Structure 1
Amino acid sequence: MSLSSALSRARGTAALFGPAFVAAIAYVDPGNVATNVTAGAVYGYLLVWVVVLANLMACLVQYLSAKLGLATGASLPESLRDRLPRGGRLAYWAQAEVVAMATDLAEVLGGAIALTILFDLPLLVGGVITAVVSTALLMVQDRRGQRAFERVITTLLVVIAVGFFAGLFVDPPPAGAVVGGLVPAFDGAGSVLLAAGMLGATVMPHAVYLHSALARDRHGRPSATALPGILRATRFDVGAAMLLAGAVNLAMLLVAATSLGGGTQELSLPAAHDAVGQSLGGVVAALFAIGLLASGLASTSVGCYAGAVVMSGLLRRSVPLLVRRVITMVPAVVILALGVDPTLALVISQVVLSFGLPFVLIPLVLLTRSRAVMGSVANHPVTTAVAVVVVALVITLNLTLIWLTVTGA
């Protein structure tokens, strides 16, 4: 292959990038910031392995979601609608909406906290501003199309990355401690709770629902001859997006572990910001806050978009954008108005997301392994086996969390 043809092929592949980067915003939302920063501050480098494992799992899950949309021409919610009775569709939609509200809670709270840090605004005012600005971002997708939305979201993803990578360049973590954190281990029920939250914050249910629709809407349903090439480009798209998201997640934990030293018993995001400022300087602390703000603004718009995809796919119903935005932001506004610790609410919201994961992962694996559904691109048996292990790990972690909570261990 000549250099010119290789460059032409690379440009063609790059032109197919985008959907995974929108989905990747879900993997660097304020819930990730809260859980990863708390994990680093409280347990040091102990839970590094959770971040790495969760992002490896995310690569597989997001690719399967995109592949489903491309091979069938239907989103995951649409595929489920065609296979569930009416009562099952309603019950499934109800749990998906609870997950969507937990998602929006995390994202609006994160934006509110960032605005409080940066401009000393009341949390309630910051939450409303976050919701309004995220709605404006959604209007880009509504009026300018998916590619314009992808460019805006990808730009915000770069801002998020800069915000959280800055601390690593100023004060790199000790390599030995990071490598030691790759060995799976827990330290009591608190670390299991955080691990479940980190998993829920990393492998996000709404991102799985959404990615199938994003891939389908970007590429349509490719012909049998075009499908292998688009799937190949999709693997690169997912790999690049998840690598960036995983690196940002790891940076969050490492900055907290390095700056706060581990062993911190109580932590809020404003306190983490102050600690980063004292340890690494005001510029790094400001970038931390800007990254958090970009995370809240981008992720809440993507989350609302995902909620619309779920409702439309399962129920064939759509709600005007502004109405849906108001409904999903109510829990966050109530939390802020009641004065509940927003950082604690962020962590708990991620645990709720973790419990919603089996409801999206099990159907995804069953559908993508079926030749009747996927045709010639059905999962290889090895892929299905790995996916089953992923689902089993999620369910096991959730059951362990329940047991530890009930027994008070």
Structure 2
Amino acid sequence: MLNHGPLSDQQTQQEALRVLERHSQKRGLARILPFLGPAFVASVAYMDPGNFATNIQAGAQFGYLLLWVVLLSNLMAMLIQSLSARLGVATGKSLPEVVRQEYRPWARYLYWIQAEFAAIATDLAEFIGAALGFHLLLGIPLVWGAVLGALATFALLGLQRYGFRPLEAAIAVLVGVIASAYVLELFFAHPDPRLVTGFVPQFKGSESILLAVGILGATVMPHVIYLHSALSQQRIPVLDVVQKRKLLSYSNMDVVLALSIAGFVNMAMLVAAAATFHHTGRTDVADITTAYQTLSPLLGPLAAGVFAAALLASGLSSTTVGTLAGQVVMQGFVSFSIPLWVRRLVTLVPSFAVILLGFDPTQVLVISQVVLSFAIPFALVPLLLFVGNPRLMGDLVISRPIKGVGWLTAAVIIGLNLYLLAQSVG
């Protein structure tokens, strides 16, 4: 359980059960509003600074060509996150807890070690994204941006002592900032209506294929698979099958809504980059800092400021979520926990080291993605094994068609990540 956090607040859980019954009679948004939150927290991983870099490069180099890849990636993410939430609802346990229950001790520790490395790699990229956001927005040195980023994430993490709602609300606000920023970016960029052709599957040369592989291969973020199952597991106390099915339907709505917003943001990133850079001949723009510096002369300082604000919101929200995920990983795999502020301090060390040593932020994003490539099978394969197991899931076991689509999705994601890994070290 997270210390004093969303998973240990029994009073809030009992209230949530009463809400489940009371709101089942309502209609529309009022019916599902009390149950929105876990997927919004998870969705942050799909709009993190790494996505900024990938989508900007895709739009700048190939225009609207790879929009269909972003859409396909988003559909894959919806499936995986819905299965993670399903595991939490059905078993009352997070994915790491089920691994601890089902696997031998040596396997549990292997899972824990690799998951911690993945969490550190993820947080490294995301925290640097937050620092870069402050750096670009305020014009301060990157190291001072990192200091502000650290203070802001401590403040965000402090909200979880009041239960799951305040932190989820804060994350939802940051998601709203990112989405609103890209609505403005689209307004500034004036994209061509012919962008709809980008939803037709096609490529232009081997470079576009490699970039498409990068977009698809980065679809699943292991830490939010672990976290989503934990956020869902005790949002409501132990329920009967009928109530669990009702809760699961609300959870699926949460996933569709949250990841639809994430999908819009990712497509808007690509479209804005295509309209701004590709159609003005700046196909060389391939990293976040260059994109910011190029936006100002092309679209004006306000557009560049909006871009920096979106990056800042992305970095702050994603690094906060990464810290929560690290706590879930430790608690689940080895039944041990430390205060969140201690974990945050420890994970800040490599981030500040990278910044003080002057490493290229974009290169850090690339290296972190290589580390994540190793970690994806450790999260995805057990998830699919567990949600397809009637002994664990009972009546909420997934159907054969969903199982087939799930394993196909896993094969594509793992295969593409292995390909990316080979390209990175080759």
TM-score tier, shorter chain, comes to over 0.9
How far did residue 10 of structure 1 move? Answer: 4.9
Match of 2:101 among 77, 82, 85: 82
Matched-pair contact (CA < 8 Å) for 1:24–1:245: yes
How far did residue 299 of structure 1 move? Answer: 1.1
Match of 2:114 among 60, 82, 95: 95
Q: Deviations over 1:324-383 (max 9, x none)?
A: 112222222222112111122123323432432221111111100111110011001000
Match of 1:291 among 290, 295, 310: 310
SS at 1:74 equivalent: coil
Assess, with a 3 A threshold, how the Cα gap between structure 1 residues 318 and 172 changes in structure 2: closer, same or farther: same
Match of 2:397 among 365, 371, 378: 378
How far did residue 243 of structure 1 move? Answer: 0.2
- Give, as a single letter, the amino acid of the residue that structure 2 aligns with 1:320: P
Which residue in the other structure is 1:306 paired with?
325
Match of 1:198 among 190, 207, 215: 215
Assess, with a 3 A threshold, how the Cα gap between structure 1 residues 325 and 195 changes in structure 2: closer, same or farther: farther
- Give, as a single letter, the amino acid of the residue that structure 1 aligns with 2:162: R
Which residue in the other structure is 1:154 paired with?
172
2:213 is aligned with 1:212: no
- Structure 2, unaligned runs of 5 or more: 1-22
**Bigger mean CA deviation after superposition, 290-299 or 348-357:** 348-357
| C-alpha separation in 2, matches of 1:135 and 1:68 | 30
How far did residue 201 of structure 1 move? Answer: 4.6
Assess, with a 3 A threshold, how the Cα gap between structure 1 residues 295 and 403 changes in structure 2: closer, same or farther: closer
How far did residue 189 of structure 1 move? Answer: 5.8
Match of 2:190 among 172, 177, 191: 172
2:96 is aligned with 1:72: no
Q: Deviations over 1:52-76 (max 9, x none)?
A: 1111001001110001000000000
How far did residue 181 of structure 1 move? Answer: 5.3
Matched-pair contact (CA < 8 Å) for 1:34–1:347: no
Matched-pair contact (CA < 8 Å) for 1:197–1:350: no
| C-alpha separation in 1, matches of 2:128 and 2:200 | 30
SS at 1:58 equivalent: helix
- Structure 1, unaligned runs of 5 or more: none
Match of 2:38 among 16, 19, 23: 19
Q: Deviations over 1:286-318 (max 9, x none)?
A: 111111111111111111001100100000011
SS at 1:188 equivalent: helix
| C-alpha separation in 2, matches of 1:202 and 1:126 | 28
| C-alpha separation in 1, matches of 2:250 and 2:24 | 16
Assess, with a 3 A threshold, how the Cα gap between structure 1 residues 346 and 175 changes in structure 2: closer, same or farther: same
Assess, with a 3 A threshold, how the Cα gap between structure 1 residues 31 and 404 changes in structure 2: closer, same or farther: closer
Which residue in the other structure is 2:15 paired with?
none
Match of 1:260 among 274, 277, 282: 277
Q: Deviations over 1:241-286 (max 9, x none)?
A: 0000110011111111211117633533122012222222222221
Assess, with a 3 A threshold, how the Cα gap between structure 1 residues 5 and 304 changes in structure 2: closer, same or farther: closer
Q: Deviations over 1:189-211 (max 9, x none)?
A: 6852x445434554211111100
SS at 2:234 equivalent: helix
Which residue in the other structure is 1:185 paired with?
203
Assess, with a 3 A threshold, how the Cα gap between structure 1 residues 201 and 115 changes in structure 2: closer, same or farther: farther
Matched-pair contact (CA < 8 Å) for 2:131–2:146: yes
Which residue in the other structure is 1:106 paired with?
125
Assess, with a 3 A threshold, how the Cα gap between structure 1 residues 220 and 186 changes in structure 2: closer, same or farther: farther
Task: Tell me the C-alpha RMSD between the 2 structures.
Answer: 2.1
Q: TM-score, normalised by structure 1?
A: 0.92
Matched-pair contact (CA < 8 Å) for 2:88–2:95: yes
Assess, with a 3 A threshold, how the Cα gap between structure 1 residues 153 and 180 changes in structure 2: closer, same or farther: closer
